[in-house]
Structure 1
Amino acid sequence: MINLSKAAVGEIKRLQLRRQKPEARIRLGVQPGGCADFYYTIDFGEAPKTGDRVYECGTISVVVDEQSLNYISELTLDYSEDLMGGGFRFHNPNAVENCGCGNSFRVAPEVATST
Protein backbone atom coordinates (compact mmCIF):
# COMPACT_ATOMS: atom_id res chain seq x y z
CA MET A 1 0.00 0.00 0.00
CA ILE A 2 1.19 3.50 -0.85
CA ASN A 3 -0.45 6.49 0.81
CA LEU A 4 -0.67 10.12 -0.25
CA SER A 5 -1.28 12.97 2.17
CA LYS A 6 -3.84 15.61 1.30
CA ALA A 7 -0.99 18.05 0.64
CA ALA A 8 0.72 15.58 -1.74
CA VAL A 9 -2.51 15.04 -3.66
CA GLY A 10 -2.91 18.81 -4.03
CA GLU A 11 0.63 19.26 -5.32
CA ILE A 12 0.37 16.32 -7.73
CA LYS A 13 -2.88 17.72 -9.15
CA ARG A 14 -1.23 21.15 -9.51
CA LEU A 15 1.68 19.57 -11.42
CA GLN A 16 -0.65 17.52 -13.62
CA LEU A 17 -2.53 20.66 -14.63
CA ARG A 18 0.66 22.63 -15.18
CA ARG A 19 1.93 19.90 -17.50
CA GLN A 20 -1.51 19.71 -19.14
CA LYS A 21 -1.72 16.00 -18.27
CA PRO A 22 -4.54 15.74 -15.71
CA GLU A 23 -4.68 11.95 -16.01
CA ALA A 24 -0.91 11.34 -15.68
CA ARG A 25 0.14 8.62 -13.27
CA ILE A 26 2.80 9.14 -10.64
CA ARG A 27 5.64 6.64 -10.69
CA LEU A 28 7.50 6.09 -7.41
CA GLY A 29 10.69 4.08 -7.26
CA VAL A 30 13.97 3.42 -5.55
CA GLN A 31 17.48 3.45 -7.01
CA PRO A 32 20.79 2.42 -5.43
CA GLY A 33 22.92 5.39 -4.40
CA GLY A 34 22.51 8.59 -2.53
CA CYS A 35 23.88 9.41 0.90
CA ALA A 36 22.42 6.35 2.64
CA ASP A 37 22.34 3.39 0.17
CA PHE A 38 19.10 4.19 -1.74
CA TYR A 39 17.27 7.24 -3.03
CA TYR A 40 13.66 7.83 -3.99
CA THR A 41 12.54 8.59 -7.53
CA ILE A 42 9.27 10.27 -8.45
CA ASP A 43 8.08 11.15 -11.91
CA PHE A 44 5.04 11.26 -14.10
CA GLY A 45 4.93 7.83 -15.65
CA GLU A 46 3.53 6.10 -18.63
CA ALA A 47 1.28 3.06 -18.56
CA PRO A 48 2.20 0.39 -16.00
CA LYS A 49 4.60 -2.32 -17.12
CA THR A 50 4.45 -6.03 -16.37
CA GLY A 51 5.04 -6.56 -12.66
CA ASP A 52 4.15 -3.01 -11.66
CA ARG A 53 1.70 -2.43 -8.84
CA VAL A 54 -0.88 0.33 -9.27
CA TYR A 55 -2.44 2.05 -6.27
CA GLU A 56 -5.46 4.28 -6.61
CA CYS A 57 -5.21 7.11 -4.09
CA GLY A 58 -8.43 8.98 -4.70
CA THR A 59 -8.10 10.40 -8.20
CA ILE A 60 -4.33 9.82 -8.35
CA SER A 61 -2.83 6.60 -9.74
CA VAL A 62 0.51 5.66 -8.23
CA VAL A 63 2.68 3.10 -10.04
CA VAL A 64 5.49 1.24 -8.27
CA ASP A 65 7.76 -1.37 -9.85
CA GLU A 66 7.96 -4.72 -8.09
CA GLN A 67 11.55 -4.35 -6.87
CA SER A 68 11.02 -0.86 -5.44
CA LEU A 69 7.91 -2.03 -3.60
CA ASN A 70 10.11 -4.15 -1.32
CA TYR A 71 11.71 -0.94 -0.04
CA ILE A 72 8.72 1.40 0.04
CA SER A 73 5.67 -0.67 0.95
CA GLU A 74 3.48 1.33 3.35
CA LEU A 75 5.24 4.57 2.36
CA THR A 76 3.34 7.82 2.80
CA LEU A 77 4.16 10.59 0.35
CA ASP A 78 3.66 14.06 1.76
CA TYR A 79 4.31 17.57 0.49
CA SER A 80 5.33 20.58 2.52
CA GLU A 81 6.85 24.00 2.12
CA ASP A 82 9.38 25.67 4.36
CA LEU A 83 11.81 28.58 4.15
CA MET A 84 13.96 26.64 1.68
CA GLY A 85 11.04 25.95 -0.66
CA GLY A 86 8.59 23.13 -1.18
CA GLY A 87 9.12 19.47 -1.81
CA PHE A 88 7.81 15.98 -1.44
CA ARG A 89 8.60 14.19 1.82
CA PHE A 90 8.86 10.44 2.10
CA HIS A 91 7.68 8.76 5.31
CA ASN A 92 8.96 5.21 4.93
CA PRO A 93 8.43 2.69 7.74
CA ASN A 94 11.02 0.40 6.10
CA ALA A 95 13.82 2.96 6.50
CA VAL A 96 16.11 2.45 9.48
CA GLU A 97 18.09 5.58 8.64
CA ASN A 98 17.37 8.69 6.59
CA CYS A 99 19.85 11.16 5.17
CA GLY A 100 19.47 14.80 6.14
CA CYS A 101 18.35 15.58 2.58
CA GLY A 102 15.25 13.43 3.10
CA ASN A 103 15.62 11.72 -0.27
CA SER A 104 18.09 9.02 0.67
CA PHE A 105 17.61 6.14 3.09
CA ARG A 106 18.93 2.85 4.40
CA VAL A 107 16.89 -0.28 5.11
CA ALA A 108 17.57 -3.13 7.52
CA PRO A 109 19.85 -5.83 6.06
CA GLU A 110 16.98 -8.36 5.94
CA VAL A 111 14.92 -6.01 3.73
CA ALA A 112 17.88 -5.34 1.41
CA THR A 113 18.61 -9.05 0.96
CA SER A 114 14.97 -10.02 0.33
CA THR A 115 15.01 -8.44 -3.12
Structure 2
Amino acid sequence: MIYLSPEAAQEVQRLINTGSNPKNRVFRLGVQSGGCSGLVYTLTPSADLLPTDLVWDWDDLKIAIAPDFLPQIDGMTLDFAQDLMGGGFRFHNPNAVETCGCGASFSVAATTPPPPMQ
Protein backbone atom coordinates (compact mmCIF):
# COMPACT_ATOMS: atom_id res chain seq x y z
CA MET A 1 0.00 0.00 0.00
CA ILE A 2 1.17 3.52 -0.79
CA TYR A 3 -0.05 6.51 1.21
CA LEU A 4 -0.34 10.18 0.26
CA SER A 5 -0.55 13.06 2.67
CA PRO A 6 -3.27 15.62 1.85
CA GLU A 7 -0.50 18.03 0.80
CA ALA A 8 1.05 15.47 -1.57
CA ALA A 9 -2.34 14.62 -3.09
CA GLN A 10 -3.02 18.32 -3.65
CA GLU A 11 0.39 18.84 -5.32
CA VAL A 12 0.04 15.75 -7.53
CA GLN A 13 -3.40 16.97 -8.61
CA ARG A 14 -1.96 20.43 -9.34
CA LEU A 15 0.85 18.93 -11.45
CA ILE A 16 -1.59 16.81 -13.42
CA ASN A 17 -3.98 19.71 -13.99
CA THR A 18 -1.26 22.11 -15.12
CA GLY A 19 0.67 19.60 -17.25
CA SER A 20 1.14 20.00 -20.97
CA ASN A 21 -0.82 16.85 -21.83
CA PRO A 22 -4.43 16.84 -20.59
CA LYS A 23 -4.57 13.06 -21.14
CA ASN A 24 -2.07 12.50 -18.31
CA ARG A 25 -4.48 11.57 -15.51
CA VAL A 26 -2.29 8.95 -13.80
CA PHE A 27 0.71 9.66 -11.60
CA ARG A 28 3.24 6.84 -11.88
CA LEU A 29 5.56 6.19 -8.92
CA GLY A 30 8.63 4.06 -9.48
CA VAL A 31 12.20 3.26 -8.50
CA GLN A 32 15.36 3.13 -10.57
CA SER A 33 19.04 2.62 -9.93
CA GLY A 34 20.97 5.81 -9.22
CA GLY A 35 21.74 8.44 -6.64
CA CYS A 36 24.30 8.31 -3.87
CA SER A 37 22.45 5.56 -1.95
CA GLY A 38 21.79 3.31 -4.94
CA LEU A 39 18.10 3.87 -5.73
CA VAL A 40 16.02 6.93 -6.60
CA TYR A 41 12.29 7.52 -6.75
CA THR A 42 10.63 8.41 -10.04
CA LEU A 43 7.40 10.39 -10.37
CA THR A 44 5.93 10.59 -13.86
CA PRO A 45 2.55 11.72 -15.21
CA SER A 46 1.04 9.15 -17.56
CA ALA A 47 -1.98 8.87 -19.80
CA ASP A 48 -2.54 5.16 -19.41
CA LEU A 49 -2.69 2.41 -16.85
CA LEU A 50 -0.95 -0.83 -17.72
CA PRO A 51 -2.80 -4.11 -17.12
CA THR A 52 -0.24 -5.12 -14.48
CA ASP A 53 -0.23 -1.79 -12.60
CA LEU A 54 -1.09 -1.63 -8.92
CA VAL A 55 -3.39 1.38 -8.57
CA TRP A 56 -4.39 3.48 -5.57
CA ASP A 57 -7.25 5.97 -5.90
CA TRP A 58 -7.59 9.24 -4.02
CA ASP A 59 -10.78 10.98 -5.14
CA ASP A 60 -10.19 11.43 -8.89
CA LEU A 61 -6.42 10.92 -8.57
CA LYS A 62 -4.78 7.62 -9.55
CA ILE A 63 -1.32 6.58 -8.36
CA ALA A 64 0.13 3.62 -10.28
CA ILE A 65 3.19 1.50 -9.64
CA ALA A 66 4.58 -1.54 -11.41
CA PRO A 67 4.35 -4.61 -9.15
CA ASP A 68 8.13 -5.07 -9.38
CA PHE A 69 8.63 -1.86 -7.36
CA LEU A 70 6.39 -2.85 -4.44
CA PRO A 71 9.16 -4.52 -2.36
CA GLN A 72 11.11 -1.25 -2.32
CA ILE A 73 8.20 1.13 -1.56
CA ASP A 74 5.40 -0.84 0.12
CA GLY A 75 4.09 1.17 3.07
CA MET A 76 5.69 4.40 1.86
CA THR A 77 4.05 7.75 2.54
CA LEU A 78 4.50 10.46 -0.07
CA ASP A 79 4.37 13.92 1.46
CA PHE A 80 4.84 17.43 0.07
CA ALA A 81 6.28 20.30 2.07
CA GLN A 82 7.36 23.89 1.52
CA ASP A 83 10.60 25.18 3.01
CA LEU A 84 13.05 28.01 2.40
CA MET A 85 14.34 26.25 -0.72
CA GLY A 86 10.85 25.86 -2.21
CA GLY A 87 8.47 22.94 -2.28
CA GLY A 88 9.26 19.31 -2.78
CA PHE A 89 8.06 15.79 -2.31
CA ARG A 90 9.25 13.92 0.77
CA PHE A 91 9.42 10.13 0.81
CA HIS A 92 8.83 8.37 4.13
CA ASN A 93 9.77 4.81 3.25
CA PRO A 94 9.81 2.10 5.96
CA ASN A 95 11.86 -0.13 3.63
CA ALA A 96 14.75 2.32 3.32
CA VAL A 97 17.70 1.28 5.45
CA GLU A 98 19.75 4.27 4.30
CA THR A 99 18.90 7.62 2.72
CA CYS A 100 21.07 10.41 1.41
CA GLY A 101 20.91 13.99 2.63
CA CYS A 102 18.66 15.13 -0.21
CA GLY A 103 16.06 12.49 0.70
CA ALA A 104 15.55 11.36 -2.91
CA SER A 105 18.06 8.50 -2.90
CA PHE A 106 17.81 5.42 -0.70
CA SER A 107 18.88 1.83 -0.26
CA VAL A 108 16.96 -1.21 0.95
CA ALA A 109 18.01 -4.37 2.78
CA ALA A 110 19.98 -6.87 0.72
CA THR A 111 17.07 -9.33 0.97
CA THR A 112 14.78 -6.94 -0.94
CA PRO A 113 14.69 -7.78 -4.66
CA PRO A 114 16.26 -5.07 -6.83
CA PRO A 115 14.02 -2.99 -9.10
CA PRO A 116 13.88 -4.12 -12.73
CA MET A 117 16.23 -2.53 -15.23
CA GLN A 118 14.63 0.24 -17.29
Write the distance in 1 (CA, Å) between the matches of 2:85 and 2:114.
36
State how 1:62-73 maps to structure 2 within 5 Å.
62-73=63-74
CA RMSD, aligned part only?
2.0
Q: TM-score, normalised by structure 1?
A: 0.90
Which sections of structure 1, spanning at least 5 residues, go unmatched?
A: none
The CA distance in 2 between the partners of 1:102 and 1:113, in whole Å, is: 19
Give how far 1:80 is off.
Answer: 0.4
Moved over 3 A (4+): 20-23, 112-115
Measure the CA separation in 1 of the matches of 2:74 and 2:100: 19
Aligned to 2:104: 103
Unmatched segments (≥5 aa) in structure 2:
none
Number of corresponding residues: 115
Identity %: 43
Cα distance in 2 between the residues matched to 1:57 and 1:93: 21
What residue identity is the alignment partner of 1:3? Y
TM-score (normalizing by structure 2): 0.88
CA–CA distance in structure 1, aligned partners of residues 114 and 19 of structure 2: 38
- Aligned-pair distance for 1:34? 0.8
